[in-house]
Structure 1
Amino acid sequence: MKVGVIGLGDVAHKAYLPVLTAQPGVIPHLHTRSRATLDRAGDAYRVPGEHRHADLDALIAAGPDAAFVHAPSGVHAGIVTRLLTAGVPTYVDKPLAYSLGEARRVVELAETRGVSLAVGFNRRHAPAYVHLLEHPRDLILMQKHRRGLPEDPRRMVFDDFVHVADTLRFLVPSHVDRISVRTRVRRGLLHHVVLEMSGDGFTAIGAMNRVSGSAEEIVEISGQDRKREVRNLAEIIDHKGQPSVRRRGDWVPVARQRGIEQAAVAFLDAVRAGRRLSAQDALRTHELCERIVLAALEEH
């Protein structure tokens, strides 16, 4: 199975290349425009020279069975469009694009051509978050904070808060009837955002503060007089009387803890089985992010 890996930066090296190069039957084909970066990655993962491509057309000409796109967010739409046009099933890091219009065009292209398109919302596969689905979820609280990183609203929301928006959508127990957004923008930079979604019997609240003093991610769900908390995707705390704590095992790889390994393998399994994956649900998350960006811009 020939698998293209496009973009060889930190995300590819820390998360995806160790997973993909360990999969039986996967033959990686690497692409980046920098020959030095290409050769460093190729040497590190023992990828033969003929499977290293400094040109995207050359990688496509090699006939990949699937592709993973880890290039910068701003070029996702263009690269994915070329892959889908060539009929290559594609997995792309979030976001599909910084603009909702571009994201819609890419998803429509995949649907029209009948080609699989998956967006890397790895938290939907993270074991600690999957375990939350077995728990009552009357109230869902998610916080994902940063230190000293106020940013342009569109980039902040689509590059980072998108994880909060999508994880809440994943965890809500039924249809969302109401959505509200509150933001704080100063000198054109988004400092914090609070998203609230509610429906029949539940409320979900997501918050991000980019000047919080620490980097952390915390999810709490509660209902039926029980609460479950997940800290930094590694620690699960159940509250019913005395709290009980379960921590990630010392030998569990970070890619598995964060759901990246499971997301990548699920995509490859679907390609092998000939099952087409649709990005329509991922597009709903992009629509929600656009709504948040517009709220921030209105405040500014």
Structure 2
Amino acid sequence: MKIALIGLGGIAQKAYLPFITHIEGIEWVFCTRNATTLSQLAHQYRIKETYTDYRQLVQAGVDAVMIHSATSSHQSIAQFFLEQGIATFVDKPLMDNGHDCEALYELAARKNTPLYVGFNRRHIPLFNQHLHGIQSGKPEQSLLSLRWEKHRFNQPGEVRTFIFDDFIHPLDSVNIYAKSDLQDIQVISHKTANQQLASINVQWQQQGSLLNASMNRVFGQTQETVTACFENQSYQFTNFMQGTRWQQDKAENLTTKDWMPMLTTKGFANMVEEWLNVVDSGKMPQQLIDRNIASHLLAEAICQKVEKLK
């Protein structure tokens, strides 16, 4: 299997290259406009085939591409490869608006070509080990509530960038039933004096579960917390590697294995494994398509509502 990585900036270098280049059976191709970066990384990871123009990859005979470039470039690059019938991976968000997300999936359907979106938080081993079935939308126990908080220190931002590039992580992580509109959703937001978005809290009830996503980018510290409640049993994770389970009126510490690599604990390894299975089969499960579209449409609806607020 031959797969090209397009865009070799910080995300690719920190979250993907350290482990995907060791996956057996894959011939990797690097592509970025920065010739210096391209040369350095190709040497570091012993990559033989490189390109500075993604359009040349069609002649390179790649089976799939992984797009790690800026969000603003996702549409043109993804559209190009989908038109060629080449399986396409795009780091979240797929697009920075709901309409273009739907349009790309319509193109993928016409071309019968997989379009995968990289949401690593769906695949965190510690969470999925204990919260069985939640991220697939089929909890093994009756889920009473799921709350996902992702906060940052002193980083208020432009509304659309805040919601699509950052808040979409906790939003998608609680959108396990693929909700796509604001009906019955409570949205509370706060802006700074210069109209930058500082914080947002979104909450709704679906299939008996109270779902809540929250982000405060003027918080005292960068942190992420996940809380899930079942009947007489509750979980709270303060990071991707440790948490607490409460049951029988007792607390139990939960941790990942000491030997588990950092990128595996953050869900990247399991996510890439799912993606490679998609490439191999040539098909995207409809459930994944529906949730990907739904989370982007929900983000769009939230964005439009917050943009109108003064």
- Please state which band the TM-score falls in when normalised by the shorter chain: over 0.9
Runs of 4+ in 1 over 4 A off after TM superposition: none
Q: Note the C-alpha offset of 1:135.
A: 4.9
The one-character-per-residue Cα deviations of 1:237-284 (angstroms, maximum 9, x if unpaired) are: 101222111222332112211111111111112222333455332010
Q: Is the 8 A contact 1:114 1:276 kept in 2?
A: no
Task: Specify every segment of 5 or more residues in structure 1 that has no aligned partner in the other structure, as ranges.
Answer: none
Q: Is the 8 A contact 1:178 1:199 kept in 2?
A: no
Correspondences of 1:93-242 after superposition (within 5 Å): 93-130=91-128, 131-132=130-131, 133=134, 134-170=140-176, 178-186=184-192, 187-240=194-247, 241-242=249-250
Correspondences of 1:55-94 after superposition (within 5 Å): 55-94=53-92
Q: Note the C-alpha offset of 1:234.
A: 1.3
2:281 maps to which residue? Answer: 273
1:24 maps to which residue? Answer: 24
Correspondences of 1:274-289 after superposition (within 5 Å): 274-277=282-285, 279-289=289-299
The one-character-per-residue Cα deviations of 1:17-62 (angstroms, maximum 9, x if unpaired) are: 22321111100011000100111110110001xx100111112220
SS in 1 for 2:254: strand
SS in 2 for 1:160: helix
Q: Is the 8 A contact 1:73 1:98 kept in 2?
A: yes
The one-character-per-residue Cα deviations of 1:72-128 (angstroms, maximum 9, x if unpaired) are: 111111110111111110111011111222212111111111000110011111112
CA pair 226-208 structure 1, distance change in 2 beyond 3 A: same
Q: Note the C-alpha offset of 1:177.
A: 6.9
Q: Is the 8 A contact 2:116 2:284 kept in 1?
A: no
User: Which range moved further: 96-105 or 117-126?
Assistant: 96-105
The one-character-per-residue Cα deviations of 1:190-240 (angstroms, maximum 9, x if unpaired) are: 000000010243211111100001111111111212101112221121012
In the aligned structure 2, how far is the partner of 1:152 from the partner of 1:74? 15
In the aligned structure 1, how far is the partner of 2:225 from the partner of 2:52? 40
CA pair 7-111 structure 1, distance change in 2 beyond 3 A: same
In the aligned structure 2, how far is the partner of 1:135 from the partner of 1:213? 35
Q: Is the 8 A contact 2:4 2:28 kept in 1?
A: yes
User: Which range moved further: 274-283 or 15-24?
Assistant: 274-283
TM-score when scaled to structure 1? 0.94
In the aligned structure 2, how far is the partner of 1:263 from the partner of 1:199? 26
In the aligned structure 1, how far is the partner of 2:82 from the partner of 2:164? 22
- The alignment's C-alpha RMSD in Å is 1.8
SS in 1 for 2:220: coil
What amino acid is the match of 1:185? Answer: K
SS in 1 for 2:175: helix
1:9 maps to which residue? Answer: 9
Correspondences of 1:289-300 after superposition (within 5 Å): 289-300=299-310
1:247 matches 2:255: yes
Q: Is the 8 A contact 1:147 1:211 kept in 2?
A: yes
2:50 maps to which residue? Answer: 52
Q: Note the C-alpha offset of 1:11.
A: 1.2
SS in 2 for 1:170: coil
What amino acid is the match of 2:154? Answer: G
Q: Is the 8 A contact 1:135 1:228 kept in 2?
A: no
